[in-house]
């Protein structure tokens, strides 16, 4: 018996001698929704996090884990060092143009937080530091900042600050011309801000301190107490989430109302100091829609008579009535319309068919179309940072299981593209050493489940002997697209095949794929994962 085998046997004997802590059972009767059940572990609920008996049990579980995993400590260090050595310490996001500036963030050295900056051009000329989160976080054990919002005159910065980790933010306002903070501090918010166009007021969402649900939209005027803020909208249905945004042309504030199977929008005139929220269309159970404004038209992404969604439009004078909605991209069986961007001269829309993404550009004047082309068989693609309405450039992010994340600008007029940045992987990474495949695996009910695979070519054997790491998620319609992961390389280089099972409950094959994996058909989610594993 060699040394490796002896050590392994010895470690196994040690592990078998370790006894796992067993939580005691104390029956507790609970009656909810006219149903009574017994919870044997209710006694372990400790909202104060101070019960010594519970803390002792958790410490025992941690000690058990440490003992069982003790023989892997050497490998853990090797893996940790591998993962860390692939990461670039100094890294910047790709600048995004909004108004007169290009906005981005920078991370350098051992800093734990980014620095938010803006510049007058893409190359970083006349760079101005907006926020140094490392400095702001230095006095706190926990620190988080919500999204940054710039006033229309580009002189004021609003952001939310959370120092407790409950996702309840205090909004602060920084004057970018002086670097000083205004006295205004708005507490108990979601952290989101939408500015009025006079630069003197903004809208924000107040959160319920118990449920942490944002449910009230207020208008705050600079220099006035928060107690004087005007309530613009209140959500009375706790199944809906509330969020806010602004139209690309800056004319409207959007209030988004979202639940699992129903969504709606209200609009506020961003130029009216006394504006009230107007419902774009009364809510209808099962109807989902979102909107974008272009000139005198609203574009509507909706599931109205379209299980896989369609794009429609309506004149700004005809909101409130679906009978006036007109098709822009009709419903297509088997092709789900996922996203779109509207510009003065172009419409860009993203569809998914048979689980694969395609992006099409339509000239709004000639109605001619072109489809963007990519090399990989399966990939991740999403549109982002397209904040300007009068532009012929489209920003998008692209990645596959063998291609590190890549940021592109596409010229919408001629179809040319420019690589702005590709994530750097330190070490000896070479994309040509790896191969990605997409296969279809039959489920027990004869449905075919898409599976994305990646492996190292020189380690792969076609006899089924490679170890397999399989991942899958099938809830809320969430799609786990095939994308690159530098941490995954440590598995692939040791001969693993990595698989993503695109099981039902996601929308990989459109909305019907989601519907066939929830509620009374939820069992399909688990069956799909099992059937892919066994194949």
Query: 64 and 99, same structural domain?
Result: no
**C-beta atoms surrounding 230 within 10 Å:** 14
Same-domain status, 321 and 470: no
208 shares its domain with 265: yes
Give the pair of three-digit tokens for residue 98. 């909004």
Nearest-angstrom CA–CA distance, 277 and 201: 16
Q: Are residues 228 and 135 in the same domain?
A: yes
Question: Nearest to residue 22, comparing CAs of 34, 40, 4?
Answer: 40
Let me know whether 147 and 223 are in one domain. yes
Q: In this structure, are residues 350 and 374 in contact, taking their beta carbons and an 8 Å threshold? A: no
The tens place of each residue's pLDDT in the chain, 535 residues long, gives: 333 333 444 455 555 578 999 999 999 999 999 999 999 999 999 989 899 999 999 999 999 999 999 999 999 999 999 999 999 988 999 999 999 999 999 998 889 999 999 999 999 999 999 999 999 999 999 999 999 999 999 999 999 999 999 999 999 999 999 999 999 999 999 999 999 999 999 999 999 999 999 999 999 999 999 999 999 999 999 999 999 999 999 999 999 999 999 999 999 999 999 999 999 999 999 999 999 999 999 999 999 999 999 999 999 999 999 999 999 999 999 999 999 999 999 999 999 999 999 999 999 999 999 999 888 888 999 999 999 999 999 999 999 999 999 999 999 999 899 999 999 999 999 999 999 999 999 999 999 999 999 999 999 998 889 999 999 999 999 999 999 999 999 999 999 999 999 999 999 999 999 999 999 999 999 999 999 999 8
Structure tokens at 84: 């860390």
Distance between CA 308 and CA 35 in Å, rounded? 37
Cα angle value 232/190/303 (rounded, 5°): 75
Total of domains in the chain = 3
Instruction: State the pTM of this model.
Output: 0.89
The verdict on residue 85 lying in a domain is no
Strand partners, 242: 257
Range of the structural domain that residue 441 is part of = 431-534
Is position 414 within any domain? no
Residue 283 counted as domain residue: yes
Rounded Cα distance, 253 and 452, in Å: 40
Q: What is the pLDDT of residue 412?
A: 95
Whether residue 104 sits in one domain with residue 249: yes
Q: For position 8, what pLDDT does the model report?
A: 44
Residue 340 host element (H or E): strand 335-342
The enclosing domain of 441 has a CATH number of 3.40.50.1820
Strand, coil or helix: 78: helix
In sign, the C-alpha dihedral spanning 441, 444, 448, 452 is: negative
Q: Which two tokens stand for residue 261?
A: 């199977």
Three-state secondary-structure class, residue 511? helix
Longest dimension (CA), the chain: 84
- Token reading at 137: 């976080």
- For residue 444, tell me if it sits in a domain: yes
* 63 lies in the same domain as 183: no
Residues 179 and 263 in one domain: yes
User: Which DSSP string corresponds to 418-462?
Assistant: EEEEE----SS--GGGEEEEEEEEE-TTS-EEEEEEEEEGGG--T
Identify whether residues 448 and 512 lie together within a single domain.
Answer: yes
Contact 141, 125 (CB under 8 A): no
Residues 56 and 151 in one domain: no
β-strand 468-472 against 497-501: which pairing, if any? parallel
Q: Domain holding 211: CATH number?
A: 2.130.10.120
CB within 8 Å of 462: residues ≥ 6 apart: none
Q: For residue 142, is it within any domain?
A: yes
d(CA 52, CA 59): 10
3-state secondary structure of 207: strand
d(CA 149, CA 158): 5
Strands 310-315 and 91-92: unpaired
Regarding whether 251 and 132 lie in a shared domain, the answer is yes
The whole-number pLDDT of residue 3 equals 36
107 in the same domain as 235: yes
- Answer whether residue 424 is part of any domain: no
All residues at 6 or more sequence positions from 495 whose CB lies less than 8 Å from its CB, including other chains: 456, 459, 460, 466, 467
Contact between 304 and 287 under an 8 Å Cβ cutoff? The reply is yes
- Helix, strand, coil % in the chain, rounded to nearest 5: 20, 40, 45
Spatial contact of 288 and 261, defined as CB atoms under 8 Å apart: yes
Q: Which of 350, 356, 332, 353 is nearest to 394 (CA)?
A: 350
């Amino acid at each position: 018996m060699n040394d490796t085998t002896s050590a392994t046997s010895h470690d196994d004997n040690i592990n078998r001698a370790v006894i796992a802590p067993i939580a005691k059972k104390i029956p507790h009767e609970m009656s909810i929704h006219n149903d009574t059940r017994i919870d044997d572990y209710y006694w372990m609920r400790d909202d104060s996090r101070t019960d010594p008996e519970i803390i002792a049990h958790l410490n025992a579980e941690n000690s058990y884990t440490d003992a069982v995993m003790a023989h892997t400590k050497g490998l853990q260090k090797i893996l940790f060092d591998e993962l860390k050595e692939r990461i670039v310490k100094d890294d910047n996001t790709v600048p995004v143009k909004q108004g007169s500036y290009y906005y981005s963030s920078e991370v350098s050295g051992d800093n734990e937080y980014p620095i938010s900056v803006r510049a007058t051009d893409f190359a970083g000329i006349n760079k101005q530091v907006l926020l140094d989160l490392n400095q702001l976080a230095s006095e706190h054990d926990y620190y988080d900042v919500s999204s940054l919002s710039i006033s229309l005159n580009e002189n004021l910065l609003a952001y939310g600050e959370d120092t407790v980790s409950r996702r309840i933010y205090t909004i602060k306002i920084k004057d970018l011309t002086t670097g000083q903070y205004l006295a205004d501090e708005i507490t108990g918010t979601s952290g989101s801000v939408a500015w009025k166009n006079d630069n003197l007021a903004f809208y924000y969402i107040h959160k319920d301190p118990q449920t942490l649900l944002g449910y009230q939209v207020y208008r705050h005027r600079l220099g006035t107490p928060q107690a004087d803020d005007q309530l613009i909208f209140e959500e009375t249905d706790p199944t809906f989430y509330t969020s806010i945004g602004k139209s690309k042309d800056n004319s409207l504030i959007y209030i988004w109302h979202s639940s699992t199977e129903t969504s709606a929008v209200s609009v506020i005139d961003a130029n009216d100091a006394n504006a009230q929220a107007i419902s774009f269309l009364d809510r209808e159970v099962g109807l989902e829609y979102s909107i974008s404004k272009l000139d005198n038209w609203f574009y509507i992404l909706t599931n109205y008579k379209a299980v896989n969604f369609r794009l429609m439009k309506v004149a700004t004078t005809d909101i409130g009535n679906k009978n006036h909605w007109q098709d822009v991209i009709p419903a297509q069986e088997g092709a789900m319309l996922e996203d779109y961007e509207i510009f003065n001269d172009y419409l860009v829309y993203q569809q998914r068919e048979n689980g694969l993404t395609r992006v099409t550009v339509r000239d709004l004047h000639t109605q001619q179309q072109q489809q963007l082309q990519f090399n990989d068989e399966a990939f991740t693609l999403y549109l982002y940072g397209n904040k300007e309405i009068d532009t012929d450039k489209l920003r998008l992010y692209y990645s596959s299981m063998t291609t590190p994340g890549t940021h592109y600008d596409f010229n919408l007029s001629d179809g040319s593209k420019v690589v702005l940045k590709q994530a750097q992987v330190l070490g000896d990474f070479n994309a040509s050493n790896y191969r990605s495949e997409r296969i279809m695996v039959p489920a027990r009910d004869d449905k075919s489940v898409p599976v994305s695979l990646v492996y190292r070519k020189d380690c792969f054997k076609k006899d089924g002997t490679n170890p397999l790491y399989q991942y899958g998620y099938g809830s809320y319609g969430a799609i786990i697209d095939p994308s690159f992961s530098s941490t995954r390389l440590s598995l692939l280089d040791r001969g693993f095949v990595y698989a993503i099972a695109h099981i039902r409950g996601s929308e990989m094959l459109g909305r019907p794929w989601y519907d066939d994996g929830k509620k009374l058909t939820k069992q399909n989610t688990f069956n799909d994962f099992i059937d892919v594993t066994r194949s």
